[in-house]
Structure 1
Amino acid sequence: MTHLNVEMSAADAAASITSAGHAQLGIAALAGIAVIVLLITRFKLHAFLALTIGSLVLGAVAGAPLDKVITSYTSGIGDTVASTGVLIALGAVLGKLLADSGGADQIVDTILAKSSRRAMPWAMVLIAGLVGLPLFFEVGIVLLIPVVLLVAKRGNFSLVRVGIPALAGLSAMHGFVPPHPGPLAAISAIHANLGVTLALGVLVAVPTAIIAGPLFSRVAARWVDVRAPEHMVPERPSEQLERRPGFVATIVTVLLPVVLMLAKALVDIGVDDPHNAAQRIADVVGAPMVALLVAVVVGIFTLGRAAGFGRDRIATTVEKSLMPIAGVLLIVGAGGGFKQTLVDAGVGQMILDVTKGWHISAILLGWLIAVCIRLATGSATVATISAAGLVAPLAADMSSAHTALLVLAVGAGSLFFSHVNDAGFWLVKEYFGMNVGQTVKTWSLMETIISVVSLLFLLLLSLVF
């Protein structure tokens, strides 16, 4: 296991925009985070504006020249959007094609038709995991919760028994598996290998989702027994389509980018020759942008055309998929700007210096930092990006596997105990017709289980690699 007793020379440290001492840098970091928390939670300011103001406060308290703070912030935005923006856009297009074509409903209907009553919670976590791969968390909730309500209503299930597994599958994918914004931004900040992170992310996400989903829901349903609210059960819009994509074609399309990226990771592990033709092909085809682009192009035919969409309808679907992600891109970019300000101010190096000699796992430290930011801001994405910037110096001498585990630890911490300052908390509460206490006993506790259980898996994996 990698510990924080790594010696670093001054030449290896990140370029600093201030020569402030450790105490001043610590106060600056806390002040910047406190401002972000206050603006988001108390004044309900958009996270993009809060992160921008917080970055300026951080630099000012650290005693850095304002022009250099602005340069660090803007360069961080540029680097983050450049590395993740296209991937987020392509993921949004694929998710919209999946939803509008009825492909998501095809997956749902096929699996549910083959599932017994006892197996229904397991079917729901499987559905959420598959559908959640290319979808943003909020989009996945909006898409799947109506399905959960329908299943609970028609099958006379406890809403918690079938709903928690679906939410667990979505949340695990959101926290650990690219192309979701948080993992992508953390991979960029920590300079981790995407293929290795993807492989380990799936390895951790699957058992974690099972424990926090089907297994936990059995207990949670005894604590909170609610039925699907009548006014929330919707009509299935996909039933209005003349035809839908086939189940196999839909599954292949959804899993295609994941398969391509995993194939690249396996080739990189098995072949260590940059001149090898197989490795060069894998490097191109398995690159995240190319893998997602291939999936989108394939999806136009296997999803859009299969549903009877003409050129105009496909163009409209693509256009509508890009509009809602503007806010996501701004938040991710601003988070990258805040991260870069932290790094250039020397906060990351300060943490490394202060914790030098501590016999604590870097994975555990990354998780704890993300937990604190998550509890304060309520945003998993903000927590992931901010924590990744703080712990990035720890990855300097790590292997690719341990760097990936550090990324996943940050993602795990970002999911800890969703509560009243998280929009997802209220979304689940309203859809499920629960009060605040019931939502805490189900949704909040489920998120905490995902965070803690995944941390344990990551610590175990760090002993193996």
Structure 2
Amino acid sequence: MSPTIVMAATELTEPVAGGGRLVISALVGIALIVALITFLKVHPFLALIVGGLAVGIVAGVDVADVITSFTTGFGTTAAGVGILIALGAMFAKLLADSGGADEIVDAIVGRASTRMLPWAMAAVGALIGLPMFFEIGLVLLMPVIYLVARRAQLSLVTVGIPALAGLSAMHGLVPPHPGPLVAIDSLGADLGTTLALGVLVAVPTVIVAGPLFAPIAGRWVPVPAPDRFEAARESEEMEQRPSFPVTLFTVLLPVMLMMGKALADIIIDDTENGVQRVLDVIGTPVVALLIAVIVAIFTFGRGAGMNGEAVAKSIESSLPPIAGILLIVCAGGGFKQVLVDTGIGTKLADWAQDFDVSVIFLAWLLAVLIRLATGSATVATITASALVVGLAEGLSQGETSLVVLAVGAGSVFFSHVNDAGFWLVKEYFGISVGQTIKTWSAMETILSVTGLIFVLLLNIVI
């Protein structure tokens, strides 16, 4: 391999072998990752390393160059995404420990009628899911889902599915979640633009997969809610918590800063303008999240009566749980870089142009196939975005963001038994595998397909 083959993910790379061999190498790498994770229960971090090496070796690349490609992609991803994930985890932990998340839940759900509860729960899931990882949001919301279902005498599924739809949509479509961030980094998309378009896609998608589907799922699987969280919840309500307006402002602060930068780029479009220069700085993802964490120390920490030691402990405890996530995401970046450096993206771009394949649909389809195979939305996003790097060349800023969203939508398609989230939902809801497929898996599929439809509709006007 020539010394120039290791390059940024957004550059087009000359293929190192024929198209057939490159496809085989990619399939071997992906199949190996699937087998290691699914059958041998190998940690995804190790599986991605082995898969990356397999791709390069089968493609005929020297092992030393494959390792260079992998480590370059690993480091680039850590630099571009790792800091954001760490800051996001700190913010989410402060939100949870201060009771701010409970304040949002109580303020929204407490004002909803029985008929509007699914809609309120979807809003709660989306709002809580904005700064939090799916698993954290699910664990946080389950006591609320239990209580709301019990008090409203509704099926646990009717109340829970909308909340899960909100969480899942934010996880797959809206940065600063790891998947969208990695896709943005890989494809060279603008974060602010992707964030704005992601919210536009997520809102109607959540409505279809959540409040509209939930009553149907609830009739299919009627599940009474247990009362195990009743006493604990009442004791929690006695604790000091930040107010709802303060909590809402703090949660939306990083979103407003990043969207402000995106709007300034569109409306002002003058790098010498003082306002735009300020917004460019504070709207940068790292700075926006850093500002949000600093503000949260006072609004969440001090606002909940936490002293300096308690705030420090909350922030410190947020990092160990995400160590595995960081390693997986960065290893995924290494695997992605190996794929990019073999030139398979260039081949896919050439083939897509020959057959006039929609870039958005192809990106979604690739993410769907990898999601079904690996069970990981993050791996699906990382791999699919790497495979369509060549296709994104020459697209406008808005179109590139839509490709990112198509990948995100495909990455949540039909969660099943090889997905940790599937088992998490099954156990929390106390339902069978078949019932989980009829509710959770069906919701994820509706979410994915609906997301694609709205992305395609946006593409008509962008």
Q: Give the alignment's TM-score, normalised by structure 2.
A: 0.96
Report the Cα distance in structure 2 between the residues aligned to 1:71 and 1:153, rounded to whole angstroms: 56
Which one of 124, 127, 132 corresponds to residue 130 of structure 1?
127
Matched, 1:373 2:374: no
Report the Cα distance in structure 1 between the residues aligned to 2:280 and 2:451, rounded to whole angstroms: 29
Aligned to 1:28: 25
Cα contact 2:417–2:423 (8 A) shared by 1? yes
Report the Cα distance in structure 2 between the residues aligned to 1:232 and 1:441, rounded to whole angstroms: 26
Matched, 1:74 2:71: yes
Report the Cα distance in structure 1 between the residues aligned to 2:423 and 2:229, rounded to whole angstroms: 15
Shift of the alpha carbon at 1:351?
1.2
Matched, 1:386 2:383: yes
What runs of 5+ residues in structure 1 fail to find an aligned partner?
1-11
Aligned to 1:412: 409
Matched, 1:160 2:157: yes
Report the Cα distance in structure 2 between the residues aligned to 1:230 and 1:109, rounded to whole angstroms: 18
Matched, 1:213 2:210: yes
Report the Cα distance in structure 2 between the residues aligned to 1:113 and 1:214, rounded to whole angstroms: 17
Aligned to 1:353: 350
Matched, 1:338 2:335: yes
Report the Cα distance in structure 2 between the residues aligned to 1:240 and 1:460, rounded to whole angstroms: 44
Report the Cα distance in structure 1 between the residues aligned to 2:208 and 2:314, rounded to whole angstroms: 36
SS in 1 for 2:356: strand
Which one of 42, 55, 58 corresponds to residue 55 of structure 2?
58
Which residue type is aligned with residue 405 of structure 2?
A: L
Aligned to 1:262: 259
SS in 2 for 1:357: helix
Report the Cα distance in structure 2 between the residues aligned to 1:317 and 1:247, rounded to whole angstroms: 20
Cα contact 1:105–1:238 (8 A) shared by 2? no
Shift of the alpha carbon at 1:217?
0.4
Which one of 361, 366, 372 corresponds to residue 364 of structure 1?
361
Aligned to 2:434: 437
Report the Cα distance in structure 2 between the residues aligned to 1:19 and 1:169, rounded to whole angstroms: 42
Aligned to 2:7: none
Aligned to 1:114: 111
Q: Give the alignment's TM-score, normalised by structure 1.
A: 0.95
Cα contact 1:228–1:433 (8 A) shared by 2? no
Shift of the alpha carbon at 1:234?
7.3
1:198-242 per-residue CA deviation (whole Å, 9 max, x = no partner) reads 000000000100110000001111111111245577723871763
What is the correspondence of 1:280-299 to structure 2 with a 5 Å cutoff? 280-299=277-296
Aligned to 1:3: none
Shift of the alpha carbon at 1:355?
2.4
Which one of 84, 87, 100 corresponds to residue 90 of structure 1?
87
Matched, 1:455 2:431: no
Aligned to 2:400: 403
Matched, 1:307 2:304: yes
Report the Cα distance in structure 1 between the residues aligned to 2:294 and 2:16, rounded to whole angstroms: 50
Report the Cα distance in structure 2 between the residues aligned to 1:230 and 1:95, rounded to whole angstroms: 27
Identity %: 61
Report the Cα distance in structure 2 between the residues aligned to 1:241 and 1:113, rounded to whole angstroms: 16
Report the Cα distance in structure 2 between the residues aligned to 1:230 and 1:196, rounded to whole angstroms: 43
What runs of 5+ residues in structure 2 fail to find an aligned partner?
1-9
Which residue type is aligned with residue 288 of structure 1?
A: P
Cα contact 1:136–1:180 (8 A) shared by 2? yes
Matched, 1:49 2:51: no
Give the number of equivalent residue pairs. 453
Report the Cα distance in structure 1 between the residues aligned to 2:224 and 2:174, rounded to whole angstroms: 31
Cα contact 1:107–1:251 (8 A) shared by 2? yes
Cα contact 2:147–2:229 (8 A) shared by 1? no
Which residue type is aligned with residue 272 of structure 2?
A: H
Aligned to 1:9: none
SS in 2 for 1:82: helix
Shift of the alpha carbon at 1:419?
0.3
Which one of 12, 15, 27 corresponds to residue 14 of structure 1?
12
Shift of the alpha carbon at 1:184?
0.3
Query: Is the alpha carbon distance of 1:291 and 1:71 closer, same or farther for their aligned partners in structure 2, counting shifts above 3 Å?
Result: same
Report the Cα distance in structure 2 between the residues aligned to 1:132 and 1:106, rounded to whole angstroms: 15
Cα contact 2:146–2:227 (8 A) shared by 1? no
